[in-house]
Structure 1
Amino acid sequence: MFNLLPKTKSEFTETDYWDKFFKKRGDKAFEWYGEYVELCSIINKYMKVTDNILNIGCGNSKLSADLYDGGFKNLKNIDMSEVVIKNMNKKYCTPKRPGLTFEQMDALNTTYDNEQFNVVLDKGTLDALMPDNKEDTVERIDKLFKEVDRLLKQGGRYIIISLLQEHIVRHLSTYFNSLGWMLRITRCKEAEHSAGRSLIQPVFVVVVTKFKKNPNITPVLEINFNGDKTHRVTSTDALISAVRTEQQVALLCCGLSNSNISSTGSLTLDVYAPGNPDIPRYTLVVIDKPSTKSTDDMTYAAFIIPQGRECEWTFSSDEGRQVLLANCKVDRLTIITLNRSHEFPDLKSVQDELAGTVVELAPSSIRESRKKVPFLSLGGDIGKRHVVVKGESEWSGGYVVEEVEGEDGILRRLIFMKTPYVIQSEIRLQEGM
């Protein structure tokens, strides 16, 4: 399989390379970044069965046939490789798929009419055409984007499935932002996990919607990386930073899934609520038991610390966490702190909110199979924390006085925010006081 991949980045853009590539593969489909079954939950939101759709750089992917069979009949497919077009016409243009077409054509210079399409679909083509940000490469991509602009109707969508290397997301967002188009980036985790261990980087679906430029309106930039709410960002730099962070975390999680980190101590991660980048909602500490086990055989769980108990030795010290790990009888444990300045309705809501996150930190077999991770805690609730007062001191910085439920009643504590897991002073409140 390795000999099918290009020796240099520039080969990705050459027709001869792709002709040889598809001859070597024969009839076996080459699926960049997942198949239709993994992508449909996202891309189907932005395409209607009545839309006129152009699939650029179709390759020998089954995506074209799957889209047609899924009801998208007004579908045209183009590729610059003569070999692949001959193969695709022979394989998929059958009497049961009338109207499905494959044409040899350069996506940078098509023969279609202006504003002929509602959707231009690009699965891996932008990545192949833009291996770097050299001047001639950028000129080629600008031709592609200009052609997409010409082909799309007003309100039409340019849907791109990509790994979004930094030079790509930067040029993509800057170019279309300058035209006044709306841009939304969604992460497609289903496509990543279908690739198993072979795909480390996140797969993104970018939807760029064509609007007339209005100097009085700021173009909309949005992200949705966790499948919940879509969130707006204020600038292309913020968009690029969010994508880069997502990629860095994905790389870390992939490394963690195939390693035992007991020799290096622990790994601490902050989890931020969308729209609140200032104060982490959760802090996660991942620890492993020293073991010769393969990560395929490691057991795993997550432990939720009740609010107010995060300062206890068991949860705040390395030694205490190892005791907790041993008591939980697993090989890896993710210890979860519910941070101040956030509201948490109940234990189940925390579990639901973090289910996807903790599985990303799991050993390889659990992460790849997406097995449900067990959540452990003390008792059946998440504890209570009441902030009495918070402020700033000239000498100690930020501080908070809070009341929490302890084993012997209500405890009032002074915490300096520079050392949030160290209790500066503590008293037990008595009834009637």
Structure 2
Amino acid sequence: MAEPTDTDCKIDKYSSELGQKTFWDSTYKREIENFNINGYTDEIWFGKDSVKRMVDWICENITKLDSSIIDLGCGNGYTLLELRKKNFTNLHGVDYSQWAVDFAKKFAISNNFPDITYTVSDLTEKQADWEKFDIVLDKGTFDAISLCDENVQEKKLWYKNNVESMLKNDSLFIITSCNWTEEELVKFFGMSMYNQ
């Protein structure tokens, strides 16, 4: 892993419960319990408009419906579920919360899409070799990682290394952030960005 560089972003100096695994475990534990009682979910991280923009962009720009797509920090799997409803078939989600993954699987099955694959993995730690994907999605996960209260630079670098290991030469990395500017993301990830 590369040595930490000066990627000083205003949020690096602050921690939040959003950067803690215990927060996400309790959130998804509560959400799966509510789902078991009510049969629906209303927690959409960054909101449905953000998901719609991401899904619409993919639908307008990606014609190959079997493109391999992974959602990093997939949470309840809502983004992948929306892509599956648009007939994308090669969908994968990863989250470090077992509760999130359990809920995402249950949510997908309840919507008759048991073919979406979900895995528990902590993207802020060294991982074994990743499968390569055509599209890598991040909807606020890097933001949450940036709010960790300990080893934040190291966690961000492991996340970056894991993302890079998932990308092919012609892959797309689609990231939504409310805490980082486009310039900061370009500097940190070292990739050219297309801003819509």
Give the TM-score normalised by the residue count of structure 1. Answer: 0.36
Structure 1 position 162, deviation (Å): 1.4
Give 1:15's aligned residue: 21
Mapped contact 1:43–1:159 kept (Cα < 8 A): no
Tell me whether 1:99 sits opposite 2:105 in the alignment.
Answer: no
Give 2:153's aligned residue: 138
Any idea what the Cα deviations from partners look like across 1:188-233, whole Å, max 9, x if unmatched? Answer: xxxxxxxxxxxxxxxxxxxxxxxxxxxxxxxxxxxxxxxxxxxxxx
Tell me whether 1:24 sits opposite 2:30 in the alignment.
Answer: yes
Structure 1 position 38, deviation (Å): 4.2
Q: Which one has the bigger strand percentage?
A: 1
Any idea what the Cα deviations from partners look like across 1:88-135, whole Å, max 9, x if unmatched? Answer: 212213693242112211123444535x11111111111111138x99
Give 2:180's aligned residue: 165
Tell me whether 1:73 sits opposite 2:89 in the alignment.
Answer: yes
Query: Does the C-alpha gap of structure 1 residues 98 and 59 become closer, same or farther in structure 2, counting only changes over 3 Å?
Result: closer
Give 2:136's aligned residue: 120
User: 1:99 is aligned with what amino acid?
Assistant: D
Mapped contact 1:78–1:104 kept (Cα < 8 A): yes
Q: Which runs of 5+ in 1 are unaligned?
A: 1-7, 187-433
Mapped contact 2:70–2:92 kept (Cα < 8 A): yes
Q: Which runs of 5+ in 2 are unaligned?
A: 1-13, 36-40
Tell me whether 1:62 sits opposite 2:75 in the alignment.
Answer: no
Q: Distance in 2 between matches of 1:121 and 1:45?
A: 16
Q: Distance in 1 between matches of 2:114 and 2:77?
A: 19
Higher Cα radius of gyration: 1
Query: Does the C-alpha gap of structure 1 residues 79 and 160 become closer, same or farther in structure 2, counting only changes over 3 Å?
Result: same
Structure 1 position 139, deviation (Å): 2.2
Runs of 4+ in 1 over 6 A off after TM superposition: none
Tell me whether 1:39 sits opposite 2:49 in the alignment.
Answer: no
Query: Does the C-alpha gap of structure 1 residues 69 and 158 become closer, same or farther in structure 2, counting only changes over 3 Å?
Result: same
Give 2:170's aligned residue: 155
Q: Distance in 2 between matches of 1:38 and 1:154?
A: 25
Query: Does the C-alpha gap of structure 1 residues 64 and 23 become closer, same or farther in structure 2, counting only changes over 3 Å?
Result: same
User: Aligned to 1:160, what secondary structure does the other structure show?
Assistant: strand
Give 2:5's aligned residue: none
Mapped contact 1:126–1:162 kept (Cα < 8 A): yes
Mapped contact 2:135–2:172 kept (Cα < 8 A): yes
Any idea what the Cα deviations from partners look like across 1:342-375, whole Å, max 9, x if unmatched? Answer: xxxxxxxxxxxxxxxxxxxxxxxxxxxxxxxxxx
Mapped contact 2:108–2:114 kept (Cα < 8 A): no
Give 1:88's aligned residue: 104
Note the 1:182-331 alignment, pairs <5 A.
Answer: 182-186=192-196
User: 1:31 is aligned with what amino acid?
Assistant: I
Matched positions, count:
172
Structure 1 position 136, deviation (Å): 2.9
Structure 1 position 40, deviation (Å): 2.7
Mapped contact 1:55–1:78 kept (Cα < 8 A): yes
Q: Distance in 2 between matches of 1:46 and 1:142?
A: 29
Give 2:11's aligned residue: none
Q: Distance in 2 between matches of 1:95 and 1:40?
A: 17
User: Aligned to 1:9, what secondary structure does the other structure show?
Assistant: coil
Q: Distance in 1 between matches of 2:150 and 2:27?
A: 26
